[in-house]
Amino acid sequence: MTIIGFDFSINFPAACISHDFKTFKWVAVTNTKLSKSYLHFLEGINLEFPDIHIINLGEKNNKGASYSDTERKKLQNQILLVNTLIDTVLTKVIQKPIIVGIEGFAYGAKGNSLVDIVQTTGILKKTIADRLLDRNLSGLFIFSPSELKNAIGAKGNANKFDIFNQFIEDPKIDAARDSALAKCLNKYRTELVTSSEIKSPFPDLVDSYLSVLKIYQALT
């Protein structure tokens, strides 16, 4: 059985792929402008940790000559983002059936940002249904943000730092303790974490694991 957890955002969507909760692989797509030095760092992570695959799409220009052109370009870029993520996830899948977990909306975004998130997440869910689940939605689980935080032992008001630190200290699944992401975060913690932020896509990779963990807890 393959279990896939998604943490979706416009700039740093991520996925965790596990086979029977014994092995773990991660995929992330960077969909925004990053410095050359940080891109070089991410390339090094890919080389050092083959079970972490970070793809850079770069910043996309959605502006067109008219409203219709802008919306069309935006939709094209959203489809490209989702297909890049799913294409890469499929290269990590070695067995079926597939179970997918994804976080539901937190409704923290407003205005155009919320519209973009909802639209792109809709594209993702449709693509998951078609390409991962063969349109069998019984294999799809959508969790609330608080459910996922509670799964790893954090409270509903926990922030990115709390979840990040909890994963490093106790990911709850034995095989995850020795996973590539755990080793990466332990080795590069000082480079990735400041007093005000955790550099993406690393908190996103952690968050994608939470849906896998939630499914594990439901099945065991």
Q: What is the pLDDT of residues 98-156, one digit of tens each?
A: 999 999 876 555 556 788 899 999 999 999 999 999 999 999 999 999 999 999 999 88
Q: How far apart are CA 181 and CA 189, in angstroms?
A: 11
Instruction: Quote the Cα angle for 30-33-36, to 5°.
Output: 95
pLDDT of residue 108: 57
pLDDT of residue 109: 53
Which DSSP string do the residues of 17-45 spell out, in sequence order?
EEETTTEEEEEEEE-S---HHHHHHHHHH
pLDDT of residue 110: 53
Q: What is the CATH code for 2-219?
A: 3.30.420.10
- The pLDDT-based confidence of 198 (bands split at 50, 70, 90) is very high
- The pLDDT-based confidence of 189 (bands split at 50, 70, 90) is very high
Q: Provide the greatest CA pair distance for the chain.
A: 54
Residue 182 predicted with pLDDT over 90:
yes
Q: What is the pLDDT of residues 203-215, one digit of tens each?
A: 999 999 999 999 9
β-bridge mates for residue 25, sequence order? 17
Q: How far apart are CA 68 and CA 112, in angstroms?
A: 16
Q: What is the pLDDT of residues 57-85, one digit of tens each?
A: 998 888 889 999 999 999 999 999 999 99
| pTM, 2 dp | 0.95
pLDDT of residue 61: 85
- The pLDDT-based confidence of 175 (bands split at 50, 70, 90) is very high
The tokens for 165 are: 């630190």
Q: What is the pLDDT of residues 90-107, one digit of tens each?
A: 999 988 999 999 998 765
pLDDT of residue 156: 83
pLDDT of residue 64: 87
pLDDT of residue 123: 97
Q: How far apart are CA 89 and CA 81, in angstroms?
A: 12
pLDDT of residue 124: 97
